[in-house]
Amino acid sequence: MNELQQTAKDLLEKNAVAVVIGYGMGSEPSLRRAVFVRKPDQAPQLIFDESCRQNLAFYVLKPEVKALGKAAVVARTPTLRTLLQLATENQITDESVVALPVGNGSVQPLTNFAAIEQYLANVPRGFTAQEQQELAAIKSKTLADRWAFWKSELSRCIKCYACRAACPMCYCSKCIVEVNQPQWVPVPSDMLGNLEWNVIRAMHLAGRCISCGSCADACPAHIRIDLLNQLLATEAMQQFGAEPGLSVRKDYALATFKPTDKEEFIR
């Protein structure tokens, strides 16, 4: 048994948690899927490798998973940051979830937000070289080319809302697309409906999205919505100094107004 499996087993044996949300084998040798380990002897199911990409923080909020009891969640860096942002937004309380950090050495259970903050302080942040390259490529396009790019991307959207479903920050009990008095977003997956949906979602995530990439991974049409979020994340950082998910603080960009706020993003 590796360290992750042993840690999970210990937590379950000690009844410190009722379930360990982690990654296990998927239906293809290369695929991983979320598993919900509830018995110590099931801990060997847990896997962690490069193929484990889903942001498991989603399950911390899912009612059916919540009903299982206190959870430990196998957490890559984006998942840890998501937990802190969820805490910032009062969606989870301190010590209600245990994070099992993976990908950076030892799997030492992080049992409270302070521990996660401390852990993240030593983790390099910012976009990867590839992400930066992709962002730069979009930014260097002319306005017309950019529009053409997004039009082509979004024309494939079938409004299945897999992006929203996969996103742990999309926890609204009533999403804007479900509000129909007035009907803000057209229901069908036509061009206007697709554009409004994806832009509204990106705007609502500005300054909150921790760029885990789960939305793009989830998209059955392979639309690069993650780029939209990353562009806005860059914008939010430049305009408001907002870098979400590094600490539990109550002044994240979307929920704060300062008289000194720049308004350059409205043009």
CB of 164 to other proteins, least distance (A): 7
Handedness of CA 27, 33, 36, 37 (dihedral sign): positive
- Tell me, residue by residue from 213 to 252, as one string, x for binding to other proteins by CB under 8 A and - for no binding: -x--xx-xxx------------------------------
By the rule CB under 8 A, 59 interacts with other proteins: yes
Residue 255, SS3?
helix
Of 67, 15, 27, whose CA–CA distance to 51 is shortest?
27
By the rule CB under 8 A, 159 interacts with other proteins: yes
Closer CB to other proteins, 59 or 252, in the complex: 59
Token pair of 209, please?
Answer: 């999205």
Is the bond preceding 182 in cis, omega lying within 30 degrees of 0?
Answer: yes
Task: Tell me the chain's radius of gyration from C-alpha atoms.
Answer: 19
Stretch that binds other proteins, among 60-68, 103-111, 132-140, 195-203 (CB under 8 A): 60-68
Rounded Cα distance, 110 and 117, in Å: 10
Closer CB to other proteins, 10 or 178, in the complex: 178
By the rule CB under 8 A, 42 interacts with other proteins: no
DSSP letter at 23 equals E
Locate the DSSP E strands across the chain.
19-25, 32-37, 71-75, 97-101
By the rule CB under 8 A, 190 interacts with other proteins: yes
By the rule CB under 8 A, 201 interacts with other proteins: no
Which of 33, 141, 151, 262 is in the footprint of other proteins by CB under 8 A?
Answer: 33
Stretch that binds other proteins, among 4-12, 108-116, 157-165, 245-253 (CB under 8 A): 157-165
CA distances 93 to 67, 78, 140, 172, 204, Å, are: 16, 18, 42, 17, 22
By the rule CB under 8 A, 142 interacts with other proteins: no
Token pair of 146, please?
Answer: 């950019």
The CA dihedral of 193, 184, 253, 218, to the nearest 10 degrees, is -40
Closer CB to other proteins, 26 or 103, in the complex: 26
Closer CB to other proteins, 59 or 240, in the complex: 59
Which residues of this chain interact with other proteins, rule CB under 8 A? 26-28, 31-36, 54, 58-59, 62-65, 156, 158-162, 164-166, 178, 180-181, 183, 186-190, 214, 217-218, 220-222
